[in-house]
Structure 1
Amino acid sequence: MSSENRIVASFAVPPALSDRRLDQAVAELMPEHSRSRLQSWIRSGALTVNGEVRRPKDKVMLSDRIELDAEPEAQVTWQAEAISLDIVYEDEHLLVINKPAGLVVHPAAGHADGTLVNALLNYAPEVENLPRAGIVHRLDKDTSGIMVVARSLIAHTSLVDQLQTRSMGREYEAVVVGTLTGGATVDAPIGRHPHERKKMGVVKSGKPAVTHYRLIERFAAHTHVRCKLESGRTHQIRVHMAHVKHPLVGDPLYGGRLRLPKGTTEELRQVLSAFHRQALHARQLTLEHPETGEILSWEVPLPEDFLGLLAALRKHVKDLESDEF
């Protein structure tokens, strides 16, 4: 089998992973693969250290050479479903998709079907041979917008590397509670919430996470912002904006109870009360094409519900101004 049809990787152990167990080190170096699959490759000899077969519990040292050469196996057992996709771009290596709010990315408990993965298996069956069906980054169920899916091993390896080195550009738009006076950066580690297991939080033991945000438009008691990620932690923008006391409008997990500012009209109250998802949209994606090296960028428009929210907030500002005269 040619190397193009195999899973091939090579790493030098960095200082941060020196003196760690082999299985722990490779889990950090190759997070796109499950721990059980990595351990099976170690035991079978497909994954070696300095050309030698090691045990999962053996320690690795600085600059040890970890190499993987394995045959791909079917990675998923989910069923293909004829679910329509809004495809922004595609070629033999990439699928760029505009995901609607409400679409779950991965099958899981409570969502065994009707997901993006089920749709991908129908549209591009080759992704069943890729880790996580080609999904290299996710959007929450109720976050809309652009995301990329690998449809080849070359693309999968490249995209994971771009995410890890933070060279993939991702920008989001959000509407937050409160009036911000300017842009800023939130640099705060994110990990599992210590008391509520369904939530993430800013915790000292969490992984590094950096979010930059800047103002697009200010309203009477809300702000439309653009966010740029340096990292990609679960719920990152939602957690970071709640951490600085400006949670996303409609966020059911981090937003708390609905807060209506003084002077809210009945019209705006109805719009805010009916907005039942976090006001978050993945607007722009920039990456290096895995085969050509060309820098590609795509942008998708805001969905109708997000536009309706912005329109209601603008109208509220005008209504307040007219009342002053």
Structure 2
Amino acid sequence: MVQVKTPETRVLNLYWWIVWGALLLLLPLRITNGSSTDLLRDTLYVGLTLGCQRVERRWPRAGILLHLVLLFPLLTLHALDPHSFGQRMGGNFVWMIFATTSAWPVFGLTALWGWRGALGGLLLSIIGRAFVGVGGSLWGVAVSAYPLILSILLGLLFYWLMSEIQTLYKKLHETSLVDPMTGLFNRRALNVDFGNAVSLAVRERQPVLFSSWDVNGLKAVNDLQGHAAGDAFLLSFVVALRQSTASSDRLYRVGGDEFVGLHVGSDAGYELYEKVKAVFPAVAAGWVLLEGHGLEDAMAEADQRLYACKAADRTSEERRVDHAPQPRFGWK
């Protein structure tokens, strides 16, 4: 549920900034010096870019992949244009200009998909080369291939750097959202997840249960047996909580012995409490179904029910003590 801007997301956004920046630089030149065919082709490219951006919003990376792949036929059409610079010069210039301009999509494919992108980019370049024609000397073809080779090498370097940065970022991000002792998410993660859970409940009309948990007797365990025993006591509760909840549920430690949970698609708060208590009796819980609640409101309402649960447990314990047989003391 946690949604943040990762380094990968920022790079994908940068791609579109570069595309639109290049268009803004190119269009004035087209308007002043280009032919009507150039303007028509550039208009098609603008429409293609807008469409791919819409795809990107729904399916990340898919829009960029589509945009890069569709660049090749546009570049091929440009190379085949009889009014283009390469066609006017003839020979190797056609292939050199095509290879130079197609270096950008080859770099993009390689930078985002590694060797698979490089092979795909080369294949599309070869297909484009077949359409453009094989005119010119072998030396000219070899020299004009340098931009493609350079774009692949730079793309592979960029792909490796981004993989390393993304891995490091993921580790740091997960560390900042996870409680180190229990392995559950922390309050910071809850602040981000809660809004997403409420939005999901409203959008898909699914129940979302918010539960609050308090471990009883932790202070006594710490005082009598030490903090190591207290930590083991808490971890035994965490094990019971994880065993009793679904794998899709989000569990958080928000205080020393205070925990909360977000349970999407569930409204069975009492059943969950009974299941956990059967494994770990020293616990009290409160819960509330999210219906437009803010986080503080949900915690306050769940805590009220948690305190009522604690009071009921104390009353039940006192009744058991009152009705227990009393020992007899006396002198022999």
Q: TM-score, normalised by structure 2?
A: 0.24
Structure showing greater Rg:
2
More helix by share: 2
More strand by share: 1
